[in-house]
Structure 1
Amino acid sequence: MPRTPIWKSISQTLETEISARHYGPGDQLPTEAALSARFDVNRHTVRRALAEMAERGIVQSRRGSGVYVSENPATYPISKRVRFHQNIKAAGQFPQKRVLRLETRAADAKEAEALRISKGDALHVYEGLSLAEGKPIAWFQSLFPAERFAALPEILNEVSSVTEALRRCGVDDYTRAETRLTAVAATSVQAVHLQVREGAPLLRSTALNVDPDLCPVEFGITFFVSDRVVLTVTPD
């Protein structure tokens, strides 16, 4: 009876452990040296096992970092109404937000133009992380005109949902007026927050939301981790 190649036995063992959630999506596998010692083989054998698993999409190799269990990306529709909590729940995952900054400051020229206020006017800055199943999928910064939404910071300290916060401020509905998507590399600060390596690919979304009278209510920039979310554009 033909003997199963050792590299294949290694890949089968690791796949079984991944299926049993010993290693979850996004987790780093032990190093080649550690796996070589565990299975009493040379690194070439371990490397072949990992390469075979990568070909089947079970793991991903990140240069200079290691080998990681492939993520289960959340589907995130970009449409007329973009709602974080609804999108993540629809993908079968648990949504959360972690606040990094909530302050009021003067608007610069670009921000003022987007929100149709004057340069130097006050705006609220809501910055944080969007998480799915406890894993950061995006870093966001949302800007709101402070004169119109004076109570917004206090409300956002109580609820993390922008939709609910705006509803409490009298905006029952808002829609996406514009979205621009760009591929960028993670900065060192973003890498720490998003738990990726510096220079990892991110998708930057720059968006403007307006109320039913087409008056701007939110100008936002979001950086999505490219392998943790699938952005889908839905026709209106």
Structure 2
Amino acid sequence: MSNNAAPPRSRTPVWQAIATTLRSDISEGRYSPGDKLPTEAQLAARFGVNRHTVRHALSHLVEGGLVRTRRGAGAFVAATPTEYPIGERVRFHENLLAAGRRPDKQILGVECRAATTAEARALWIDLGASVCVYHGLSLADDAPIALFESVFPLDRTAGIDQHLAETSSVTEALARSGVADYTRASTRLTAVLADVTQALHLHLREGDPLLRATSVNVDAAGQPVEYGRTWFAGDRVTLTLEH
């Protein structure tokens, strides 16, 4: 008898599957902000589980900011995912204002260092050339929705490190550095899992789904002026591609 049987496949916890389904219900508009969700008993009957499992799923959604609970009243939808279009012109503040949300940013760090291989390739600069790196946290209505890292070639954006320290706006900082306008040249989307520090910043659990956008912005002459990576909380943002 063979002992080479394939190992059993890992299974998604039931509570996590329920949370994913409820998140989809909210994202697709079955429940709107302020709406009361079905009771724990009703959800338990719907999914064929006990109320403890339902409570676990709801707690996860509460931690993510999508659901709020009131003792004796039940669970309510706190927010729906923010619509965030990705096209030739991507502007954080404009996107959130258009979605009816209040935008904000927290600067986590600004540093100047030598470019890595990937950064040099994306920005069309020599390996080791000087770049400015801007780390930050994007918020909508005071809730964290994304972590970002923007890398700027200092030979094309002189003084941007100082400008970023004075304003959290990339558009304003680039303008002060002589880049009056810029457009998106490319965007690559990849599904990833949150590491422990990303989870802390985004108020998630380690291993929760994130959507990573890797992009390059160019100036009017087509020269790269920003290489960025953004990690969006998967249940708080709906990315839409514009043509």
> Fold-level match, TM-score > 0.5?
yes
Unaligned stretches of 5+ residues in structure 2: 1-32, 48-53, 68-76
Distance in 2 (CA, whole Å) between partners of 1:64 and 1:90 is 29
> What SS does the corresponding residue of 2:238 show, helix, strand or coil?
strand
User: What does residue 118 of structure 1 align with?
Assistant: 126
Q: Kindly tell me: are residues 220 and 61 of structure 1, through their superposed partners in 2, closer, same or farther at Cα, counting changes over 3 Å?
A: farther
Q: Which one of 218, 229, 242 corresponds to residue 221 of structure 1?
A: 229
Q: Which amino acid aligns with 2:151?
A: L
Contact 1:171 1:211 in 2 (8 A): yes
Pair 1:131-2:124 in alignment: no
- Cα deviation per residue 1:102-126 (whole Å; 9 max; x = unaligned)? 0000111111111111111110000
Distance in 2 (CA, whole Å) between partners of 1:107 and 1:91 is 35
Q: Kindly tell me: are residues 63 and 218 of structure 1, through their superposed partners in 2, closer, same or farther at Cα, counting changes over 3 Å?
A: same
Matches within 5 A, 1:1-236: 19=34, 47-49=40-42, 51=44, 66-68=60-62, 69=67, 70=77, 71-235=79-243
Distance in 2 (CA, whole Å) between partners of 1:215 and 1:77 is 23
Shift of 1:147: 2.2
Shift of 1:50: 5.0
Contact 2:136 2:147 in 1 (8 A): yes
> What SS does the corresponding residue of 1:85 show, helix, strand or coil?
helix
Shift of 1:73: 1.2
> What SS does the corresponding residue of 1:129 show, helix, strand or coil?
strand
Q: Kindly tell me: are residues 72 and 64 of structure 1, through their superposed partners in 2, closer, same or farther at Cα, counting changes over 3 Å?
A: closer
Contact 2:214 2:228 in 1 (8 A): yes
- Cα deviation per residue 1:115-158 (whole Å; 9 max; x = unaligned)? 11111111000001000001110000000001222211111111
- After TM superposition, the runs of 4+ consecutive aligned structure 1 residues lying more than 6 A away are none
Contact 2:133 2:150 in 1 (8 A): yes
> What SS does the corresponding residue of 1:81 show, helix, strand or coil?
coil
TM-score calculated relative to the size of structure 2: 0.72
Q: Which amino acid aligns with 1:125?
A: V
Contact 1:61 1:67 in 2 (8 A): no
Distance in 2 (CA, whole Å) between partners of 1:78 and 1:205 is 10
Contact 1:65 1:197 in 2 (8 A): no
Contact 2:113 2:131 in 1 (8 A): yes
Distance in 1 (CA, whole Å) between partners of 2:163 and 2:45 is 50
Unaligned stretches of 5+ residues in structure 1: 1-17, 24-45, 55-59
Q: Which amino acid aligns with 1:128?
A: G
Deviates more, 1:70-79 or 1:116-125: 70-79
> What SS does the corresponding residue of 2:138 show, helix, strand or coil?
strand
Distance in 1 (CA, whole Å) between partners of 2:141 and 2:150 is 22
Distance in 2 (CA, whole Å) between partners of 1:153 and 1:79 is 26
> What SS does the corresponding residue of 1:184 show, helix, strand or coil?
strand
Query: How many residue pairs are counted as aligned between the two chains?
Result: 190
> What SS does the corresponding residue of 1:170 show, helix, strand or coil?
coil
Contact 2:164 2:170 in 1 (8 A): yes
Contact 2:40 2:55 in 1 (8 A): no
